[in-house]
């Protein structure tokens, strides 16, 4: 019954229709720009062909959204309570549109230039900038939820790098006296399993972030604030996972090249180490206090840790510098874009 009422509200509310289209656009963009990071190392080590890897990533993205939402919705709660769009529901819906439009613009530009910027950071920044524009101050920003973002950023960096380094060294120690020719099949399968786990955790983390935004839009359309606790409707899980899988199937060859081929030249066991390290970090962040962590950021730092375990010079630091710059610019850049787009829309439509 609640689902039917929500769908009726959607069809009778033009603002919610536009918001839903923008949310679908953001999820689609995430699928083709962020998801390729999950399979970049598997393709870079030639453990999988690009077509097969993309299909696998689409399937496991879909499963990640479904399964994690059944187990734990902490990330959804964090995102939905991060900003306050309370007040006039019509104006608040327009502000949310501004946030979503800015995220699509930022993510598409990053994809065009082949920079693996984080849609998670863009989502958080866009929502924050829009809330500030709507409220006219930082009163609309929930500081306690933002602390989780900073904590997640720091923890994913340290965990991704440390686990990437440690798992690589552990594998090298365990297989030190084993004929490498006999391990080819094992490490190839391990790499494929690692890529599948990364795709799963990408869906688990990012799918929940977008459902958090989806919930904001639905509640605003009903003139309500997002409550502290809620039940995520099945149709929302299905749409989010399906659109993300579709975006993944479109692919992201530029991102795959930057992450899987240009940053560090990896052997199969090293690619598997990076995927396993990043997956563990993402799972920890998802289950522990619902920290919204960037899958791109986590995977990249894991790859850096793997490269550094061999020698620091094996990492292409020019590529790393470019990525770090993109991350540093995303918060202020997309936040400012969200602020300006929201102000413009409110000037025109309110």
The one-digit pLDDT tens for each residue of the chain (350 residues) are: 455 555 565 556 676 777 788 888 888 877 776 666 777 778 777 788 877 887 888 888 888 888 888 877 777 777 877 887 766 777 788 888 888 888 888 877 776 776 656 777 888 888 899 989 988 888 888 888 888 888 887 888 889 999 999 999 999 898 888 887 788 889 889 989 988 998 898 888 888 888 888 888 877 777 776 666 667 788 888 888 888 878 777 755 555 555 545 555 678 888 889 889 999 998 888 887 678 888 877 888 888 888 888 766 666 666 667 667 777 788 888 899 999 999 998 888 76
- Output the CA–CA distances (angstroms, integers) from residue 323 to 7, 30, 84, 132, 152, in the order listed: 40, 17, 31, 27, 18
Kindly report the number of other CB atoms within 10 A of residue 115's CB atom.
21
Dump pLDDT digits (tens) for 85-101.
Answer: 766 777 788 888 888 88
Task: Report yes or no: 110 and 125 within 8 Å, Cβ to Cβ.
Answer: no
pLDDT score, position 1 = 46
pLDDT score, position 57 = 82
Dump pLDDT digits (tens) for 213-251.
Answer: 888 887 777 777 666 666 778 888 888 888 887 877 775
Report residue 306 as tokens. Answer: 């793997």
pLDDT score, position 7 = 57
Task: Report yes or no: 316 and 264 within 8 Å, Cβ to Cβ.
Answer: yes
Q: How far apart are CA 173 and CA 276, in angstroms?
A: 17
261, 264, 268: which is closest to 47 by C-alpha? Answer: 268
Task: Kindly tell me the number of DSSP H helices and DSSP E strands found in the chain.
Answer: 14, 0
Q: How far apart are CA 331 and CA 312, in angstroms?
A: 28
For 141, the 3-state DSSP assignment is strand
Residue for token pair 């190392």? 41
What is the rounded (10 degree) CA torsion for 144, 83, 81, 226? Answer: 150
Report residue 40 as tokens. Answer: 């970049």
Q: How far apart are CA 275 and CA 168, in angstroms?
A: 11
Mean pLDDT over each residue of the chain, to the nearest integer: 79
Q: How far apart are CA 119 and CA 102, in angstroms?
A: 11
Report residue 271 as tokens. Answer: 């690619």
Residue for token pair 């950021």? 297
What residues contact residue 204 under an 8 Å CB cut-off, 6+ apart? 64, 65, 67, 68, 282, 283, 286
Residue for token pair 């799963």? 200
């Amino acid at each position: 019954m609640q689902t039917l009422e929500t769908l009726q509200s959607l069809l009778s509310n033009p603002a919610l229709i536009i918001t839903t289209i923008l949310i679908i656009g953001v999820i689609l963009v995430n699928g083709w720009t962020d998801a390729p990071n999950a399979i970049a190392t598997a393709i870079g080590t030639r453990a999988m062909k690009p077509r097969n890897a993309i299909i696998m990533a689409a399937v496991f993205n879909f499963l990640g959204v479904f399964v994690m939402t059944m187990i734990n919705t902490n990330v959804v709660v964090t995102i939905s309570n991060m900003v306050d769009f309370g007040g006039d529901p019509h104006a608040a819906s327009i502000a949310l549109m501004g946030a979503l439009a800015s995220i699509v613009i930022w993510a598409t530009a990053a994809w065009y230039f082949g920079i693996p910027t984080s849609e998670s950071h863009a989502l958080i920044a866009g929502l924050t900038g829009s809330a500030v524009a709507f409220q006219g101050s930082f009163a609309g920003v929930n500081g306690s939820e933002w602390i989780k973002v900073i904590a997640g950023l720091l923890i994913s960096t340290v965990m991704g790098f440390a686990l990437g380094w440690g798992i690589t060294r552990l594998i090298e120690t365990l297989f030190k006296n084993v004929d490498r020719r006999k391990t080819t099949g094992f490490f190839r399968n391990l790499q494929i399993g690692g890529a599948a786990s990364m795709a799963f955790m990408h869906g688990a983390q990012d799918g929940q972030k977008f459902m958090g935004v989806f919930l904001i839009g639905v509640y605003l359309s009903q003139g309500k604030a997002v409550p502290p606790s809620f039940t995520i409707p099945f149709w929302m899980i299905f749409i989010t996972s399906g659109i993300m899988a579709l975006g993944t199937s479109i692919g992201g060859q530029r991102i795959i090249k930057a992450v899987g081929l240009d940053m560090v030249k990896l052997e199969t066991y090293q690619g598997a180490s990076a995927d396993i390290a990043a997956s563990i970090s993402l799972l920890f962040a998802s289950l522990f206090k619902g920290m919204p962590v960037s899958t791109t950021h986590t995977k990249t730092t894991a790859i850096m840790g793997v490269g550094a375990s061999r020698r620091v010079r094996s990492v292409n630091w020019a590529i790393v510098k470019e990525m770090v710059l993109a991350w540093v610019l995303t918060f202020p850049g997309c936040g400012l874009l969200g602020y300006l787009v929201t102000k413009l829309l409110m000037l025109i439509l309110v």
